[in-house]
């Protein structure tokens, strides 16, 4: 596995499926080898994310919690430097999809560092009212519209108007609108399996506290793709290297942890993250029941 810095020439393109995120250091870029480049943010955020990925993908790492965590993250290819700018090179989670529909869900009711003052905390609570109830916020999403043959982007301004569990449910139905109704039940089943994997990891690990981290959900809007043998990227194979190389072409849904610029060492369970994830799972389970064939 490749970690560390490299400054090899890479052909860059704009990344078309970014649904959220700051553009302070510029948007994500697409490489021609199936990866995204995320600009390293200013200190201390940027370095914290680099240290996190370096720790998790360290070749000599043996701790089981860390090895298990790798499956839940985009594969990390190290740092690249292009024209004096530094980037994290990550697996592009949308790459295995022909018509990806993408949603960024920020986890936790508390999305600020310990040192944040009360004014900042209150501003965040007001800005993202849904998380006060559910413990997660939908930051943005993109859905493929088969009529116009274009992706529609629902941005942060749109998502900040979500207040209640019912609003969140409607939003998920809107997000899932790109697939035929009869497939939605299976897609949700697969998505829930991925989210339960993430939850299982969080219920055992006591190493990290994930503040303001997201789960990126992607599903396939091209309905000519059918479910195959390998559906769950988390359960694909034993090692992350194999998983990366043997990524299923017929993947219909994926859910991975992204945005780890505020991950801190811990000695306890991440109850803030788990609260949001348990609510997310139960809301999606309820959505799934609506698509069950009667």
d(CA 43, CA 49): 10
Is residue 259 involved in binding Mg ion (CB under 5 A)?
Answer: yes
Least Å distance between CB 140 and ligand ATP?
6
Of residues 89 and 288, the one with the C-beta less far from Mg ion: 89
Per-residue string for binding with ligand ATP, 29-48, x by CB under 6 A? -------x-x--x---x---
d(CA 205, CA 80): 30
C-alpha distances (whole Å) from 147 to each of 143, 151, 178 are 12, 10, 10
Give the residue closest to ligand ATP by C-beta. Answer: 21
Question: Number of helices and strands (H, E) in the chain?
Answer: 9, 13
Question: Given the rule CB under 6 A, which of 57-65, 90-98, 191-199, 223-231 is the region that contacts ligand ATP?
Answer: 90-98
What spatial distance separates the first Cα and last Cα of the chain, rounded to whole Å? Answer: 47
Of residues 21 and 189, the one with the C-beta less far from Mg ion: 21
Least Å distance between CB 106 and ligand ATP?
8
**Contact between residue 277 and residue 198 where contact means Cβ atoms under 8 Å apart:** yes
Question: Given the rule CB under 6 A, which of 2-10, 19-27, 180-188, 281-289 is the region that contacts ligand ATP?
Answer: 19-27
Strands 29-31 vs 12-14: parallel, antiparallel or unpaired: antiparallel
Least Å distance between CB 112 and ligand ATP?
12
Binding partner of residue 34 among ligand ATP, Mg ion, none, CB cut-off 5 to 8 Å per kind: none
Among 109, 101, 39, 60, smallest CA distance to 254 is for: 101
Least Å distance between CB 38 and Mg ion?
10
**Contact between residue 53 and residue 194 where contact means Cβ atoms under 8 Å apart:** no
Structure tokens at 254: 């994926």
Q: Strand, helix or coil at 206?
A: coil
Is residue 21 involved in binding Mg ion (CB under 5 A)?
Answer: yes
Of residues 197 and 259, the one with the C-beta less far from Mg ion: 259
Q: Which of residues 96-125 bind ligand ATP (CB under 6 A)?
A: 102, 104
Write the Ramachandran bin of 84: left for phi over 0, alpha for psi from -120 to 50, otherwise beta.
left
Binding partner of residue 19 among ligand ATP, Mg ion, none, CB cut-off 5 to 8 Å per kind: ligand ATP
Q: Which of residues 121-160 bind ligand ATP (CB under 6 A)?
A: none
**Which residues 6+ apart lie within 8 Å of 271 measured at CB?**
none
Least Å distance between CB 36 and ligand ATP?
5
Question: Given the rule CB under 6 A, which of 89-97, 157-165, 175-183, 286-294 is the region that contacts ligand ATP?
Answer: 89-97
DSSP 40: P
| Among residues 31, 205, 214, 236, the one that binds ligand ATP under rule CB under 6 A | 214
Q: How many residues sit in the footprint of ligand ATP (CB under 6 A)?
A: 24
d(CA 270, CA 203): 8
Is residue 46 involved in binding Mg ion (CB under 5 A)?
Answer: no
d(CA 269, CA 194): 20
d(CA 161, CA 220): 26
Of residues 190 and 213, the one with the C-beta less far from ligand ATP: 213
Binding residues for Mg ion (CB under 5 A):
21, 259
Binding residues for ligand ATP (CB under 6 A):
17-22, 28, 36, 38, 41, 45, 74, 90-94, 102, 104, 214, 216, 258-259, 261
């Amino acid at each position: 596995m490749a970690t560390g810095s490299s400054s090899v020439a890479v052909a860059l393109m704009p990344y078309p499926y970014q649904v959220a995120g700051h553009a302070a250091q510029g948007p994500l870029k697409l490489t021609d080898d199936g990866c995204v480049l995320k600009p390293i943010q200013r200190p201390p955020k940027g370095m914290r994310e680099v240290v996190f990925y370096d720790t998790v993908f360290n070749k000599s790492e043996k701790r089981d919690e860390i090895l298990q965590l790798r499956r839940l993250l985009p594969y990390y290819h190290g740092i690249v430097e292009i024209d004096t700018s530094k980037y994290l090179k990550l697996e592009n989670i949308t790459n295995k999809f022909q018509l990806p529909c993408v949603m960024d869900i920020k986890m936790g009711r508390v999305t600020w560092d310990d040192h944040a003052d009360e004014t900042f905390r209150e501003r965040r609570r007001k800005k993202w009212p849904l998380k006060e109830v559910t413990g997660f916020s939908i930051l943005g999403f993109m859905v493929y519209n088969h009529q116009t043959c274009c992706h529609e982007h629902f941005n942060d301004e749109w998502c900040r108007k979500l207040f209640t569990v019912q609003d969140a449910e409607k939003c998920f139905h809107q997000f899932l609108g790109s697939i035929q109704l009869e497939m939605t039940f299976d897609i949700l089943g697969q998505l829930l399996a991925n989210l339960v994997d993430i939850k299982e990891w969080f219920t055992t690990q006591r190493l990290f506290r994930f503040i303001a981290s997201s789960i990126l959900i992607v599903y396939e809007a091209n309905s000519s793709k059918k479910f195959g043998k390998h559906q769950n990227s988390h359960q694909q194979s034993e090692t992350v290297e194999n998983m990366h190389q043997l990524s299923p072409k017929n993947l219909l849904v994926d859910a991975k942890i992204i945005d780890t610029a505020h991950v801190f060492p811990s000695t306890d369970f991440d109850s803030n993250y788990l609260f949001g994830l348990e609510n997310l799972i139960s809301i999606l389970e309820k959505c799934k029941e609506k698509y069950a064939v009667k």
